[in-house]
Structure 1
Amino acid sequence: MIIRRHTSARSRLAAGAAAIALAASACGGDSSGGGTAASWCDFVTESDVVDEIFDSLGVDPAETESGLKRVEEFVKRLPNEAPPEIAEDATTIADGAQLLIDAFASADFDIADADLSFMSDSELEANLDAAGERIDVYTQNECGRPFGEDDAASDSDPSEDGGSDSDFDPAGGTLRDQLIAQFESIGLTNEESSCIAANLDFSDPAVQSGDVAAMLDVFGECGIGLDRLAELGS
C-alpha cells in the first residue's frame, strides 16, 4: 500500500546513528465513495507518481515540502475517487497520510525535527494496515494491479538491501533529540552533542550508515578534537 509502505521507506532519509521507522496511523473521518471501479483504476495509475516522489525525496526541507505538497494533493482526492466498497478505507489512508504530512509541516519540513509520536499507537497502525490491505485486494481484483508499487519488495528487511535496523522510538522525541541523547551516552556534553546533530549532513550516505570517519569534520567544527575523542574512547 503506497502510503503505508513509504512511511517506512522515507525513514532512511534522515538516518544518522539511527533510521526512522515510519508507519503512518489512521484517525478516521467521513468517506465519500463517489468513484466507480473504472474511474478508480484510472486514478490508481497516479499512485506510481507518488511512489516516485517519495523515492526522490531527500533531507532538504524545500525539496521535502515540495514533494509532500504534491503527495497531499493526491491523498486528499482519495475519498472522492474511491468506489463505495473501499471509500471508508480510502479515508482512513488519507487521514493517516495527512498526520504524517502535518508532522513534517509543523517541523518546517526538517525530517530531524518532526514529532512522530503519533506513530507509537499500535492500534492506529493496525487500522491503517487493515485498510491498506483491503484497498490492495480490491484494486488487484478490479484493476489487475496493486495500489502503488508491490509491497513485497519494499517491505523487506532493510538489512537485506544495505540498510540498518532502526532503533528510533517515535515516543522518545524527534530524531535530533534522540541523536543528541545517543551522543551524550558516549560521554559528549549536551552542547557538543547538539552541535553535532545540528551540523551533520544527513544526505551523505556515509553519515546515514553511521560511519564515524564521515563525521570527523563536524566533530572538528564543534571543537571536538582527536584528544577529546581519545578521552571518550578510553
Structure 2
Amino acid sequence: MIAIFSAVITFSLKMADEYRENDLPLSEKRSEEIRKIFELTAVQKYKPSSIIDGNSSKDYMMKKQGISLKVFYTERNWLGSSMRSFFGVYGYMNIYPHKLVSSAIATAFLFLVASIFILAYRRMVDTNPYGIPLVMMVGIITIIAASVLFSWLWDYQPQGRYLLAILPTLGGALVIIGKSAYQSVSLKITIVVAFSISVLSFFLCLQSIPKIPAQY
C-alpha cells in the first residue's frame, strides 16, 4: 500500500507540473504548441501547413484533406488492408500469404469469435446472458474505431497490429467463462485449425523471402 500510495503521489505531482507548463490535454493552447512542434520538426509533406498548401502526403490527415469515410473504406480499402496484415504479413510488411490462406485464417478466426460469444451467452444464461457478449462487442468495436479514427484523422496506417488488442479481449472473456470454455470440443478444434493454417501460412511465405538480407 505504501508503494502504491507513493507512486500515486509522485505521478500526481509530475502530471500537475506537466499541466502547469503545457496546459490541459485537448486545450487550445496545448494543441497550438503541438502544432508548432509538428511544423518545426516534420518533413515537408507531413507539416500541418502542407494541407493548406496542397502539398501534403495523401495519407496525412485525410479528413482535413476532404476525404470522406466512404472513400476511406472503399477506394483506400482500410478494412481489407488491416485484416490482411492482422492475419499475417511477413518481411518488411510486404510479403503476404495467398488470398485463399488469408481467407481460411479469417474464417477460422470468425468461428473462434463466434464460439466465444456463444459460450459466454450459455455461461451467463441464468443471470445476465447478454452481459459478457455485450462487453466483448463494445470492446472490439472500440478497438476498431480507435484504429479507424487514427488512420483517418492523423496518419493512414492500415496495419493489423493496431487490432491485436482484440485478442486480450477474447482471452479475458475465456477466463470469465471458465471451465466450460476449456471443455468445448468445437472451440478446441477451431483453435487447432486456426493455428495449423497460420503455421502453414508462415512456411509458405518463408519460401518467398529471399535468403540474402535487404534484397526485397
Mark yes or no: TM-score above 0.5: no
Asked which structure has the greater CA Rg, the reply is 2
Q: Select the structure with the greater relative contact order (CA < 8 A; seq sep ≥ 6).
A: 1
| Alignment TM-score, normalising by the size of structure 1 | 0.28
